[in-house]
Structures are given as C-alpha cells and as structure tokens.
Amino acid sequence: MRVLMISKACVVGMYQRKLEELAKLPELRLLVVVPSFWRNGRQILPLERAHTAGYELRVLPMVFNGSFHLHFYRQLGQVMQQFQPEIVHIDEEPYNLATLQAMRLAEKNRARAVFFTWQNLSKRYPFPFSQIERYNLAHARLAIAGNREAEQVLRAKGYTGPVRVIPQFGVDPELYQPRTEQDGPGNALMVGYMGRLVEEKGLQVLLRALVGLEGNWRLQVVGSGPYGAALRELAVELGIQARVNWLGYVPSTEAPGILRSLDVLVLPSLTRANWKEQFGRVLIEAMACEVPVIGSSSGEIPNLIGDAGIVFPEGDAVALRDSLRWLVSDPGLRSVLGQRGRQRVLERFTQAQVAADTYGAYKEMISPGAREDCTS
C-alpha cells in the first residue's frame, strides 16, 4: 500500500511520531510531503526533523506560505506521478486550496483521496472556497474528523461518504511520562497553561480565577500570540504578576519536561461565533504525564477529559477557582486524576493507536467494498 501524505502540520517534530508508527504497519510505504517551514501569523515554525525512521519526508516549496486557505505546493504533481500512490492523505480542511490541488492530482493519478477536518462549526464560505469544499466533499473516498462535532458538520453539508473520527495526532507515552522522584515537587504548587495567547483560549479567565486562590502557587504560561501584551497587563492589574512566569514559545521537544513540572494544567477555552475548541491536544499531553487537568466546557474538551479531570462552565472564573481549590487542597485527588488521565491516553490517544486507526481507514478505502462513486 503506497500512501502519500501532504501535511504542513508535520513540520512539528513531535507530530512525526505518528508517521513512524504508521510506517511500521504491514505492507505500507509512506511518503510525507511538508514545507520547509510554516508561517503561523508572526511565528515561523521551521521543519524539525525529529522522528523520520521508516518513511520518506520530502520538502516541497509552498506557495502563499502562511495563508491557511490559499497555500499550495509546487512540484506536487511531479512527486505524485513518480510515487504513484494508491492513497493520498490530505491533512487539510476540505475548503482549502491545497486540498483541491491534491484531490485533483489524486484523481489524475487514479489514487483514492482522504481529507482531514477539525471544523466543528457549520460555516458557509464565500466563493471560491464554497466551490472548493463542494468539490472535495464530492470526490473524497473517506473523511477523517478530529472530533465528533466535525462529523456532524460534514453530514449537514451533504457529505455521504464514510467518516472516521480519529485525532490528527496522538502522544508518545515514552516521551510524555509521569514525573519521577528526581524531578521532585517544587515549593510552590505549579499551575500551567500551554498554548496560543489569543483571546478565545481564555487565559484571562484563568488569571482572574487565580485572584484569591489561597496557598503558595505559581502560574507557568507557555506560548505566544497577539493577546500576550494584554494578558500581561491584566496580570499587573490583578496584582498577580509576581506569581506568573511567561516562558513564550518553546519547541515541541521541550513540552514533556515542562508539563512534568506542573501540578495541574488548565485549558480555559472560550467558544466564539466563529470558533470553539476542536480538540485541546495539550490536555492529552498533560494527562500522559499524569498531570491532573481542568478544562472548560468548550467544544471537544469534555469528551477528551471524561472522568480523568475536571470540566467547568466556560468563562466562569469563580467555578474555575473552586476547581483549583479542590485540587490544591486534595493531593490524593490530584494523584487519582493523574493516573486516570494517563490510562485514558494509553487506551485512546497514543501515536501508535492513532496510527493503527488511520491504517484501518486506509485498508477500508482500498477494500473491495469501498465506494467507487465519488459524486455525492
């Protein structure tokens, strides 16, 4: 089975572990196309060659790098013609130009195409993106949805083909491990946030929740973004700036060590008219490290956490403060939730499990019973 995957997300080194796990599976030859970097707003994400065993990682020039909807790849047609894939895995939303490019090239080379979607809000796109989406929904042999609501959105838009709900990436439990005795707890209880510094991620709710939280605590903020300056000003206004460490952006390879240093991780995302939490990957990373997690009720967060953490009503700083007090005052509960979290990750969210589920989807696509009519 020859699989060509197109994925700008795989410039991130930690995400490449799924590719290694895929490459281990029987009779699968994998070629992954990536750009040399991805421009995420003002941030440049360079290609990290961290996990490249067993498959080929090929860099192609990208046109309109940084444009989520309009980017595409030079030389992709040449690569596809040379490789002759049976399956083209397009790691992009169906309304993106890169998806249309790869979909049409797959048809030209008689390959079967699958796209990936996180989109859990039913949005209507202007021309030409509406036409791009319509074409890709009609011609894909299979869709992979990163969350449950994304499947519902696809169905509401008329997609009639098979859908598999599989996270885009899992975690490597060998890298994301619990704290050891050598790590040791710090003097202060360490609360953590890791992610983009944008308003919808809700860090301002966490800052307000920490006001009045008793005990010796500190907040570790990992990430960067356009809302960072406003958040720093808010911490000063609330009088908690001395307890907040702003670490900025860190490479993905440093994330496990930072997470292991935490006593609790909080993801306080806020649903907006055009966005709600699609997954919350940092939650499963923290859970793999046996760090208890608190998440808001936005989007997919409650489904990820299950009974392995605490879910609070999004935007409710008082409820979040109460959740933090509960964990601060009960080390035994922190331990129980941490153990439940790691077990939940081992059962559902490892890179190996995500790779196995993806491989199963590939097998379904090329099975004799796979649908041939792609004009839904």
- In this structure, what DSSP letter does residue 253 have? G
343 in the same domain as 362: no
The first and second tokens of residue 348, run together, are: 């559902």
156 in the same domain as 12: yes
- What is the spatial distance between Cα 234 and Cα 203, in angstroms, rounded to a whole number? 10
Examine the pLDDT at 136 and tell me if it is beyond 60.
yes
216 in the same domain as 79: no
- Residue 372 pLDDT class (50, 70, 90 cuts): low
Q: Is residue 27 in a domain?
A: yes
Q: Is residue 182 in a domain?
A: no
Stretch 316-336: mean pLDDT = 95
Q: Is residue 223 in a domain?
A: yes
Q: What is the pLDDT of residue 205?
A: 98
- Residue 184 pLDDT class (50, 70, 90 cuts): low
**Structural domain harbouring 197:** 189-348
CA–CA distances in Å: residue 224 to residues 47, 230, 244, 249, 374: 19, 12, 14, 5, 42
150 in the same domain as 232: no
Alpha carbon 370 to chain centroid distance? 28
Query: Hey, is 205 helix, strand or coil?
Result: helix
Q: Is residue 319 in a domain?
A: yes
315 in the same domain as 304: yes
What percent of the chain has pLDDT above 90?
Answer: 85
Q: What is the pLDDT of residue 105?
A: 98
Q: What is the pLDDT of residue 374?
A: 47
331 in the same domain as 274: yes
279 in the same domain as 195: yes
The first and second tokens of residue 51, run together, are: 């996990």
Examine the pLDDT at 187 and tell me if it is beyond 80.
no
* Domains held by the chain: number: 2
Please, what is the average pLDDT of the chain? 93
Q: What is the pLDDT of residue 100?
A: 98
203 in the same domain as 158: no
Q: What is the pLDDT of residue 376?
A: 38
- Residue 348 pLDDT class (50, 70, 90 cuts): very high
206 in the same domain as 94: no
Please tell me the number of Cα atoms within 13 Å of 357 on its side-chain side: 21
Q: Is residue 228 in a domain?
A: yes
- What is the spatial distance between Cα 66 and Cα 48, in angstroms, rounded to a whole number? 17
Which amino acid is located at 28 in the chain? L
Among the ranges given (24-33, 163-172, 316-325), the one the predictor scored with the smallest mean pLDDT: 163-172
Q: Is residue 179 in a domain?
A: no
155 in the same domain as 200: no
112 in the same domain as 63: yes
317 in the same domain as 238: yes
List pLDDT tens digits, range 60-116.
999 999 999 999 999 999 999 999 999 999 999 999 999 999 999 999 999 999 999
Tell me the CATH number at 28: 3.40.50.2000
Residues 62-76 as b or e (16 or more Cβ within 10 Å = b):
beeebeebebbbeeb
